[in-house]
Protein backbone atom coordinates (compact mmCIF):
# COMPACT_ATOMS: atom_id res chain seq x y z
CA UNK A 1 0.00 0.00 0.00
CA UNK A 2 1.11 3.56 -0.58
CA UNK A 3 2.16 5.60 2.37
CA UNK A 4 2.95 9.26 2.08
CA UNK A 5 2.75 12.23 4.33
CA UNK A 6 0.40 15.05 3.41
CA UNK A 7 3.13 17.68 3.64
CA UNK A 8 4.86 16.36 0.53
CA UNK A 9 3.33 17.09 -2.87
CA UNK A 10 1.23 14.11 -3.86
CA UNK A 11 2.97 11.90 -6.38
CA UNK A 12 1.02 11.48 -9.61
CA UNK A 13 -1.12 8.38 -9.82
CA UNK A 14 -0.12 6.51 -12.98
CA UNK A 15 -3.00 5.22 -15.11
CA UNK A 16 -1.77 1.67 -14.62
CA UNK A 17 -2.29 2.04 -10.86
CA UNK A 18 -5.60 3.85 -11.23
CA UNK A 19 -7.20 0.90 -13.02
CA UNK A 20 -6.30 -1.31 -10.06
CA UNK A 21 -7.97 0.90 -7.46
CA UNK A 22 -11.08 1.81 -9.44
CA UNK A 23 -13.22 -0.64 -7.43
CA UNK A 24 -11.91 0.73 -4.13
CA UNK A 25 -12.74 4.19 -5.45
CA UNK A 26 -16.28 3.27 -6.44
CA UNK A 27 -16.78 1.47 -3.12
CA UNK A 28 -15.62 4.48 -1.15
CA UNK A 29 -12.81 2.40 0.27
CA UNK A 30 -9.90 4.64 -0.67
CA UNK A 31 -8.27 6.70 2.05
CA UNK A 32 -8.58 10.47 1.80
CA UNK A 33 -5.18 10.96 0.20
CA UNK A 34 -5.64 8.23 -2.37
CA UNK A 35 -9.16 9.42 -3.11
CA UNK A 36 -7.81 12.90 -3.79
CA UNK A 37 -5.06 11.57 -6.05
CA UNK A 38 -7.64 9.54 -7.93
CA UNK A 39 -9.83 12.54 -8.58
CA UNK A 40 -6.91 14.79 -9.45
CA UNK A 41 -5.85 12.23 -12.00
CA UNK A 42 -9.34 12.00 -13.50
CA UNK A 43 -9.40 15.77 -13.87
CA UNK A 44 -6.49 15.66 -16.31
CA UNK A 45 -6.74 12.22 -17.94
CA UNK A 46 -9.25 11.53 -20.72
CA UNK A 47 -8.48 7.81 -21.09
CA UNK A 48 -8.96 7.21 -17.37
CA UNK A 49 -12.27 9.07 -17.45
CA UNK A 50 -13.26 6.75 -20.29
CA UNK A 51 -12.02 3.76 -18.28
CA UNK A 52 -14.04 4.60 -15.18
CA UNK A 53 -17.04 5.16 -17.43
CA UNK A 54 -16.50 1.73 -19.01
CA UNK A 55 -16.44 0.13 -15.57
CA UNK A 56 -19.66 1.91 -14.59
CA UNK A 57 -21.34 0.81 -17.82
CA UNK A 58 -20.07 -2.73 -17.28
CA UNK A 59 -21.69 -2.76 -13.84
CA UNK A 60 -24.96 -1.43 -15.27
CA UNK A 61 -24.95 -3.94 -18.14
CA UNK A 62 -24.16 -6.81 -15.75
CA UNK A 63 -27.19 -5.77 -13.72
CA UNK A 64 -29.35 -6.40 -16.77
CA UNK A 65 -27.72 -9.76 -17.46
CA UNK A 66 -29.50 -11.78 -14.78
CA UNK A 67 -31.03 -15.12 -15.57
CA UNK A 68 -33.96 -13.86 -17.57
CA UNK A 69 -36.28 -16.07 -19.48
CA UNK A 70 -34.80 -19.17 -17.89
CA UNK A 71 -37.08 -21.67 -16.25
CA UNK A 72 -36.54 -24.17 -13.46
CA UNK A 73 -36.31 -27.81 -14.49
CA UNK A 74 -39.90 -29.11 -14.50
CA UNK A 75 -39.34 -31.88 -11.93
CA UNK A 76 -37.69 -29.48 -9.49
CA UNK A 77 -40.56 -27.03 -9.92
CA UNK A 78 -43.05 -29.81 -9.29
CA UNK A 79 -41.14 -30.98 -6.24
CA UNK A 80 -41.24 -27.48 -4.78
CA UNK A 81 -44.95 -27.17 -5.48
CA UNK A 82 -45.62 -30.54 -3.82
CA UNK A 83 -43.60 -29.39 -0.81
CA UNK A 84 -45.73 -26.26 -0.68
CA UNK A 85 -48.94 -28.30 -0.74
CA UNK A 86 -47.68 -30.52 2.10
CA UNK A 87 -46.81 -27.40 4.07
CA UNK A 88 -50.09 -25.68 3.32
CA UNK A 89 -51.91 -28.87 4.32
CA UNK B 1 -44.70 12.73 11.77
CA UNK B 2 -44.88 13.18 8.06
CA UNK B 3 -41.73 12.55 6.10
CA UNK B 4 -41.33 12.83 2.37
CA UNK B 5 -41.99 9.41 0.97
CA UNK B 6 -40.27 7.98 -2.05
CA UNK B 7 -43.40 6.72 -3.77
CA UNK B 8 -41.64 4.07 -5.82
CA UNK B 9 -39.98 2.65 -2.74
CA UNK B 10 -43.21 2.92 -0.78
CA UNK B 11 -45.10 1.11 -3.53
CA UNK B 12 -42.45 -1.60 -3.63
CA UNK B 13 -42.70 -1.99 0.16
CA UNK B 14 -46.46 -2.26 -0.07
CA UNK B 15 -46.22 -4.87 -2.82
CA UNK B 16 -43.71 -6.82 -0.76
CA UNK B 17 -45.93 -6.68 2.30
CA UNK B 18 -48.84 -8.02 0.26
CA UNK B 19 -46.65 -10.80 -1.07
CA UNK B 20 -45.58 -11.84 2.43
CA UNK B 21 -49.22 -11.74 3.56
CA UNK B 22 -50.25 -13.97 0.67
CA UNK B 23 -47.49 -16.46 1.47
CA UNK B 24 -48.58 -16.56 5.10
CA UNK B 25 -52.11 -17.17 3.88
CA UNK B 26 -50.79 -20.19 1.97
CA UNK B 27 -51.48 -18.71 -1.44
CA UNK B 28 -50.00 -21.20 -3.91
CA UNK B 29 -50.14 -18.83 -6.90
CA UNK B 30 -48.15 -16.18 -5.01
CA UNK B 31 -45.65 -18.81 -3.95
CA UNK B 32 -45.16 -20.26 -7.42
CA UNK B 33 -44.79 -16.78 -8.82
CA UNK B 34 -41.67 -16.14 -6.75
CA UNK B 35 -40.43 -19.70 -7.24
CA UNK B 36 -40.52 -19.07 -11.00
CA UNK B 37 -39.10 -15.57 -10.75
CA UNK B 38 -36.24 -16.29 -8.35
CA UNK B 39 -35.70 -20.02 -8.86
CA UNK B 40 -33.31 -19.84 -11.82
CA UNK B 41 -30.95 -17.38 -10.13
CA UNK B 42 -31.17 -19.41 -6.91
CA UNK B 43 -30.17 -22.51 -8.80
CA UNK B 44 -27.29 -20.70 -10.39
CA UNK B 45 -26.15 -19.31 -7.06
CA UNK B 46 -26.44 -22.67 -5.30
CA UNK B 47 -24.40 -24.25 -8.05
CA UNK B 48 -21.42 -22.06 -7.09
CA UNK B 49 -21.06 -23.92 -3.79
CA UNK B 50 -22.13 -27.43 -4.66
CA UNK B 51 -20.39 -30.21 -6.54
CA UNK B 52 -23.27 -30.97 -8.92
CA UNK B 53 -26.48 -29.61 -10.35
CA UNK B 54 -28.37 -32.36 -8.53
CA UNK B 55 -27.12 -31.17 -5.15
CA UNK B 56 -27.82 -27.55 -6.12
CA UNK B 57 -31.40 -28.51 -6.97
CA UNK B 58 -31.78 -30.17 -3.57
CA UNK B 59 -30.48 -27.02 -1.92
CA UNK B 60 -33.04 -24.92 -3.80
CA UNK B 61 -35.85 -27.24 -2.76
CA UNK B 62 -34.70 -27.28 0.89
CA UNK B 63 -34.43 -23.51 0.83
CA UNK B 64 -38.05 -23.08 -0.20
CA UNK B 65 -39.12 -25.41 2.58
CA UNK B 66 -37.11 -23.39 5.07
CA UNK B 67 -38.67 -20.20 3.67
CA UNK B 68 -42.17 -21.56 4.20
CA UNK B 69 -41.34 -22.77 7.68
CA UNK B 70 -39.85 -19.41 8.54
CA UNK B 71 -42.23 -17.05 6.75
CA UNK B 72 -44.16 -16.26 9.93
CA UNK B 73 -40.92 -15.13 11.55
CA UNK B 74 -39.80 -12.98 8.59
CA UNK B 75 -39.40 -9.46 9.97
CA UNK B 76 -38.80 -7.52 6.79
CA UNK B 77 -35.43 -6.17 7.85
CA UNK B 78 -34.17 -7.04 4.39
CA UNK B 79 -36.17 -7.61 1.26
CA UNK B 80 -37.87 -10.97 1.04
CA UNK B 81 -35.64 -11.98 -1.84
CA UNK B 82 -32.47 -11.10 0.05
CA UNK B 83 -33.73 -13.12 3.00
CA UNK B 84 -34.47 -16.10 0.74
CA UNK B 85 -31.04 -15.87 -0.90
CA UNK B 86 -29.35 -15.66 2.51
CA UNK B 87 -31.00 -18.93 3.49
CA UNK B 88 -29.95 -20.41 0.16
CA UNK B 89 -26.32 -19.34 0.47
CA UNK B 90 -26.09 -20.69 4.02
CA UNK B 91 -27.50 -24.03 3.01
CA UNK B 92 -25.46 -24.25 -0.16
CA UNK B 93 -22.27 -23.50 1.76
CA UNK B 94 -23.05 -26.17 4.34
CA UNK B 95 -23.84 -28.74 1.68
CA UNK B 96 -20.79 -27.73 -0.29
CA UNK B 97 -18.34 -28.26 2.54
CA UNK B 98 -20.01 -31.52 3.45
CA UNK B 99 -20.04 -32.98 -0.03
CA UNK B 100 -17.28 -31.41 -1.97
CA UNK B 101 -14.40 -32.65 0.18
CA UNK B 102 -12.28 -30.04 -1.51
CA UNK B 103 -11.71 -26.43 -0.61
CA UNK B 104 -14.28 -24.49 1.41
CA UNK B 105 -15.49 -21.21 -0.01
CA UNK B 106 -13.35 -19.01 2.23
CA UNK B 107 -10.20 -20.75 0.98
CA UNK B 108 -11.27 -20.31 -2.63
CA UNK B 109 -11.94 -16.66 -1.90
CA UNK B 110 -8.45 -16.34 -0.44
CA UNK B 111 -6.74 -18.11 -3.32
CA UNK B 112 -8.57 -16.11 -5.94
CA UNK B 113 -7.46 -12.80 -4.41
CA UNK B 114 -3.79 -13.72 -4.28
CA UNK B 115 -1.09 -13.29 -6.86
CA UNK B 116 -0.52 -10.68 -9.51
CA UNK B 117 -3.52 -9.23 -11.21
CA UNK B 118 -3.73 -6.84 -14.12
CA UNK B 119 -7.12 -5.29 -14.66
CA UNK B 120 -5.75 -4.16 -18.01
CA UNK B 121 -2.94 -5.88 -19.92
CA UNK B 122 0.43 -4.31 -19.08
CA UNK B 123 1.27 -3.67 -22.74
CA UNK B 124 -1.54 -1.12 -22.95
CA UNK B 125 0.55 1.25 -20.84
CA UNK B 126 3.75 3.16 -21.55
CA UNK B 127 6.95 1.85 -19.98
CA UNK B 128 8.72 3.23 -16.94
CA UNK B 129 11.15 5.01 -19.30
CA UNK B 130 8.48 6.94 -21.19
CA UNK B 131 7.84 10.63 -20.61
CA UNK B 132 4.58 9.71 -18.89
CA UNK B 133 5.51 6.39 -17.33
CA UNK B 134 2.73 3.84 -16.95
CA UNK B 135 0.12 6.04 -18.58
CA UNK B 136 -2.16 4.76 -21.34
CA UNK B 137 -0.31 4.11 -24.57
CA UNK B 138 -3.35 4.93 -26.68
CA UNK B 139 -6.71 6.60 -26.10
CA UNK B 140 -9.71 4.65 -24.85
CA UNK B 141 -13.05 4.78 -26.66
CA UNK B 142 -15.98 6.35 -24.84
CA UNK B 143 -18.60 3.64 -24.49
CA UNK B 144 -21.18 6.34 -23.96
CA UNK B 145 -20.67 7.00 -27.66
CA UNK B 146 -21.62 3.40 -28.48
CA UNK B 147 -25.07 3.09 -29.88
CA UNK B 148 -27.38 2.41 -26.96
CA UNK B 149 -28.24 -1.01 -28.26
CA UNK B 150 -24.64 -2.19 -28.19
CA UNK B 151 -24.65 -2.27 -24.39
CA UNK B 152 -28.22 -3.48 -24.11
CA UNK B 153 -28.29 -6.01 -26.92
CA UNK B 154 -28.97 -9.66 -26.25
CA UNK B 155 -25.51 -10.40 -27.67
CA UNK B 156 -23.84 -8.18 -25.09
CA UNK B 157 -25.83 -9.70 -22.25
CA UNK B 158 -24.91 -13.18 -23.49
CA UNK B 159 -21.28 -12.11 -23.64
CA UNK B 160 -21.46 -10.91 -20.03
CA UNK B 161 -22.97 -14.25 -19.07
CA UNK B 162 -20.10 -16.10 -20.72
CA UNK B 163 -17.52 -13.81 -19.11
CA UNK B 164 -19.05 -14.47 -15.69
CA UNK B 165 -19.17 -18.22 -16.34
CA UNK B 166 -15.45 -18.10 -17.14
CA UNK B 167 -14.59 -16.54 -13.77
CA UNK B 168 -13.21 -18.66 -10.95
CA UNK B 169 -16.00 -19.60 -8.50
CA UNK B 170 -15.47 -17.08 -5.69
CA UNK B 171 -15.16 -14.14 -8.10
CA UNK B 172 -18.22 -15.40 -9.94
CA UNK B 173 -20.25 -15.67 -6.75
CA UNK B 174 -19.32 -12.16 -5.63
CA UNK B 175 -20.21 -10.52 -8.94
CA UNK B 176 -23.50 -12.45 -9.10
CA UNK B 177 -24.49 -11.18 -5.67
CA UNK B 178 -23.17 -7.64 -6.07
CA UNK B 179 -23.95 -6.70 -9.64
CA UNK B 180 -26.79 -9.04 -10.59
CA UNK B 181 -28.63 -9.40 -7.28
CA UNK B 182 -27.70 -5.87 -6.22
CA UNK B 183 -26.45 -6.68 -2.71
CA UNK B 184 -24.06 -4.25 -1.05
CA UNK B 185 -20.54 -5.06 0.08
CA UNK B 186 -21.30 -5.82 3.74
CA UNK B 187 -24.23 -8.08 2.78
CA UNK B 188 -21.97 -10.12 0.53
CA UNK B 189 -19.02 -10.35 2.89
CA UNK B 190 -21.36 -11.38 5.72
CA UNK B 191 -23.19 -14.00 3.69
CA UNK B 192 -19.98 -15.47 2.32
CA UNK B 193 -18.10 -15.10 5.57
CA UNK B 194 -15.16 -13.29 4.00
CA UNK B 195 -13.60 -9.95 4.87
CA UNK B 196 -14.77 -6.78 3.18
CA UNK B 197 -11.32 -6.35 1.68
CA UNK B 198 -11.40 -9.85 0.27
CA UNK B 199 -14.87 -9.23 -1.12
CA UNK B 200 -13.66 -6.06 -2.80
CA UNK B 201 -10.63 -7.72 -4.37
CA UNK B 202 -12.82 -10.50 -5.78
CA UNK B 203 -15.31 -7.96 -7.09
CA UNK B 204 -12.51 -5.91 -8.63
CA UNK B 205 -11.07 -8.88 -10.46
CA UNK B 206 -14.47 -10.04 -11.63
CA UNK B 207 -15.61 -6.65 -12.93
CA UNK B 208 -12.28 -5.95 -14.58
CA UNK B 209 -12.49 -9.22 -16.50
CA UNK B 210 -16.05 -8.58 -17.61
CA UNK B 211 -15.07 -5.11 -18.80
CA UNK B 212 -12.13 -6.56 -20.70
CA UNK B 213 -14.43 -9.09 -22.39
CA UNK B 214 -16.78 -6.31 -23.47
CA UNK B 215 -13.89 -4.20 -24.70
CA UNK B 216 -12.53 -7.06 -26.79
CA UNK B 217 -15.95 -7.64 -28.28
CA UNK B 218 -16.59 -3.98 -29.10
CA UNK B 219 -13.11 -3.70 -30.62
CA UNK B 220 -13.67 -6.70 -32.88
CA UNK B 221 -17.06 -5.35 -33.95
CA UNK B 222 -15.71 -1.90 -34.78
Distance from CA of B3 to the nearest CA of A (A): 28
Q: What pLDDT is recorded for position B113?
A: 95
pLDDT band with cut points at 50, 70 and 90 for residue A6: very low
B45 vs B3, higher pLDDT: B45
Is the CB of A17 inside 8 Å of chain B's CB atoms? yes
**Average pLDDT of B176-198?**
94
Q: Are A57 and B60 a contacting pair at CB < 8 A?
A: no
**Contact with chain A for residue B70, Cβ under 8 A:** no
> Predicted confidence band at B20 (pLDDT cuts at 50, 70, 90)?
very high
- How far apart, in whole angstroms, are the C-alpha atoms of residue B198 and residue B188? 11
- Does any CB of chain B come closer than 8 Å to the CB of residue A24? yes
Q: Kindly state the helix (H) or strand (E) to which residue B30 belongs, with its residue range.
A: helix B28-47
CB spacing of B185 vs A51 below 8 angstroms = no
Optimal mutation site among A34, A72, A77, A89, interface B, most CBs of chain B within 10 A: A72
Q: With contacts defined as CB-CB under 8 Å, which chain B residues touch A88? A: 26, 28
Contact yes or no for A54 and B211 at CB 8 A? yes
Residues of B in contact with A48 (CB under 8 A): 136
What's CA A46's distance to the chain center, in Å? 20
How far apart (Å, rounded) are the C-alpha atoms in residues B161 and A81?
29
Least confident of A14-18, A36-40, B10-14: B10-14
- Cα B163 to Cα A35, B167, B214, distances in angstroms: 29, 7, 9
The complex scores an ipTM of: 0.85
Q: Tell me the shortest Cα–Cα distance from B19 to chain A, in angstroms.
A: 15
d(CA A34, CA A37): 5
What Rg do the C-alpha atoms of chain B give, in angstroms?
21
Q: Which residues of B touch A65 (CB under 8 A)?
A: 157, 160-161, 164, 180
Give the whole-number percent of chain B exceeding pLDDT 90.
67
Calculate the average pLDDT of chain B.
Answer: 90
CA distance B3 to A45: 42
Confidence of residue B51 (pLDDT cuts 50, 70, 90): confident
Collapsing DSSP to helix, strand or coil, B165 comes out as helix
Q: pLDDT band at B124, cuts 50/70/90?
A: very high
Torsion from C-alpha of B19, B23, B25, B26, nearest 10 degrees:
140
How many contacts, defined by CB atoms under 8 Å, are there between A and B?
A: 145
Judge whether A26 is closer than 8 Å to chain B, CB to CB: no
**pLDDT of res. A16:** 96
Q: Look at residue A9 and tell me whether its pLDDT is greater than 60.
A: no
Q: pLDDT value at position B68?
A: 96
Model confidence at B117, in pLDDT bands (50, 70, 90)? very high
Residue B110's pLDDT is what? 93
B44, B74, B112, B146, B215 from B222: Cα distances, Å? 33, 51, 33, 10, 10
Mean pLDDT, chain A, integer: 88
Amino acid sequence: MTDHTITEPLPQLPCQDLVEVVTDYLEGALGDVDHQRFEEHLAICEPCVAYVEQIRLTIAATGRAGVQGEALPADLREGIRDAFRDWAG
Amino acid sequence: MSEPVDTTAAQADAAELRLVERLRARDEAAFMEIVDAWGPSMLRLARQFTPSTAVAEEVVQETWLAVLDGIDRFEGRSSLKTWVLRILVNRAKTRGTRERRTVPFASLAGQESEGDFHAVAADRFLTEEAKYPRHWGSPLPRWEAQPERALESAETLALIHDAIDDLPPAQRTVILLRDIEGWDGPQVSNALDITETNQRVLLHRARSKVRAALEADFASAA
